[in-house]
Amino acid sequence: MKQEPTRKLTKQELIVFLAVVAGAGVETTGRLFGWMGKVLAEHPDQRKELAADPTLIPCAIEELLRYEPPGPHVARYVTTDDVHYQEQLIPAGSALLMMLASANRDERHFDNPDRFDIHRKPGGHLTFGRGAHFCVGAPLARLEGRIALEEVLKRFPDWHIDLDNARRSRTATVRGWDSMPAKLS
């Protein structure tokens, strides 16, 4: 195996990297909370199950991440060498946009992929990426999602969303809501 040259990050590169990691984790997890509210309002029977049995919440978080990923796509560059993938040549230097949300709805991998189901066997979604580019914050995002949903369901097991007055965020990198009025029961 060819040994690649290594170098240390510059101070500026390190600052940019830390800002990206901190910002990405805060914004995407916050957007996940909004999707929890919307999706579970649209599926009140499943929300009722979660309120009655909090042990279902970790699987529900995985399904929420699959069904409505806050980061629906990721961009990458082919760095040093041409890549052959599925009989296609991708030249070095090419920019790629991977549609993670689309992969999360792939009927070849998921039964009834357009159906939200808290009982779906967890795993297989690409919301956090794969391999060398797997999200370092994935365990924290899952933990924050689980705790947030547990606490909301303890206090407010029933709600309705006013979608007519909800406002989606205008961002190019993440999907979510700037506001989502809810009526708590």
What distance separates the 2 farthest-apart alpha carbons in the chain? 62
Domain-embedded: residue 91: no
pLDDT of residue 110: 96
Residue 117 neighbours by CB under 8 Å, 6+ apart: 46, 63
pLDDT at 23 over 90: no
Domain-embedded: residue 166: yes
Number of domains within the chain: 1
The whole-chain average pLDDT of the chain stands at 92
What band does 6 get if pLDDT is binned at 50, 70 and 90? confident
What band does 75 get if pLDDT is binned at 50, 70 and 90? confident
pLDDT of residue 157: 96
What band does 24 get if pLDDT is binned at 50, 70 and 90? confident
Domain-embedded: residue 54: yes
The answer to whether 130 and 72 are in contact (CB under 8 A) is no
- Reported as a single tens digit per residue, the pLDDT across 135-177 is 888 999 999 999 999 999 999 999 999 999 999 998 878 899 9
**Rounded to whole angstroms, how far apart are CA atoms 48 and 153?**
9
Mean pLDDT of 52-74: 96
CATH number of the domain at 141, please.
1.10.630.10
**Rounded to whole angstroms, how far apart are CA atoms 143 and 149?**
10
Domain-embedded: residue 29: yes
pLDDT of residue 136: 84
pLDDT at 39 over 90: yes
pLDDT at 18 over 90: no
Domain-embedded: residue 124: yes
Domain-embedded: residue 90: no
Domain-embedded: residue 6: no
- Reported as a single tens digit per residue, the pLDDT across 49-62 is 999 999 999 999 99
Domain containing residue 62: 11-71+113-184
Mean pLDDT of 104-114: 96
CA angle, 142 then 36 then 148, to 5°? 50
Domain-embedded: residue 66: yes
